[in-house]
Amino acid sequence: ADSLDALRSRLDVPALRLQSFQIRDDEADPDLGFATIVARLAEAGRVEAAFALVERRRGRELADQMIRGLALRRFADDTMRPAPVTPVALSELQQSLGPATALATYVTGRGGEPTTVFVIQAGGATTHRLPPIDSLTPALSSFTSLVEQGDPAPAVAARLGRVLVGPLIAGLPAAVSRLVIVPDEGLYRLPFDALIVDPGQPILERFVTSLLPSATLLVRLRRLPSRQGAGLLAFGDP
């Protein structure tokens, strides 16, 4: 990771743009077993080191997505480049979370790699090993399609809720009412609010949920000065 970040820092904008377009999503193992490495570190108790690797990788991915977006703009030029952001440390993230908020970061891969979820609160951090995302792909696709058609699909919602969310909320104190979710891979399209957890309760009835692409972004957003009198844009049954 150090070598990769050092290499990227030396690239000029055209070279970095070319590199970002060379990423292939159809490769069998495009991340070289990253999810497995994270799982092993977490199982060995090196939660802070594993979390640091995850946030560094997310930062690189977000930067590449921004570079590709900028390059496709009509008036793009060779000076357009996202400003580098230092990934947040686990201790810094914990300090930014209040007692009513928990953050869940998912890390998964392809080809049967394990799924790891980091559950971070102000008072500590734990990890849970979940089934490979490959084993859940049919259920995820089916559930998303059914929800888009207006079908709550309670049986599938309960199964996915039990597997993906049940282990991480089982240890949360009752005072936690906000859940910030950082998905990965196919979980980005999953409507977490519609999942059902024991005892037959939709997640939205227990938590105010929100989704973010990285934990670092949560800390950066909370550091922004508050704006008084901000408006509200609300949609009902769009």
CA distance 131 to 139: 13
pLDDT at residue 234, as a whole number: 83
Neighbours of 159 (CB within 10 A): 16
Helix (H, G, I), strand (E, B) or coil at 211: strand
pLDDT at residue 70, as a whole number: 75
pLDDT band of residue 25 (cuts 50, 70, 90) is low
pLDDT: which is higher, 230 or 43: 43
> What is the average pLDDT across 189-195?
92
Tokens of 169: 């909320």
Q: What is the pTM of this model?
A: 0.84
Work out the mean pLDDT of the chain and round it to a whole number: 86
Among 163, 143, 164, residue whose Cα is nearest residue 152 = 143
Phi, psi of 106 (to 5 degrees): -95, 140
pLDDT at residue 26, as a whole number: 55
CA distance 139 to 30: 23
The kind and range of the H/E element at 148 are helix 137-148
Reported as a single tens digit per residue, the pLDDT across 123-151 is 899 999 999 999 999 999 999 999 989 98
List residues bridging with 208 in a β-sheet.
178
pLDDT: which is higher, 15 or 108: 108
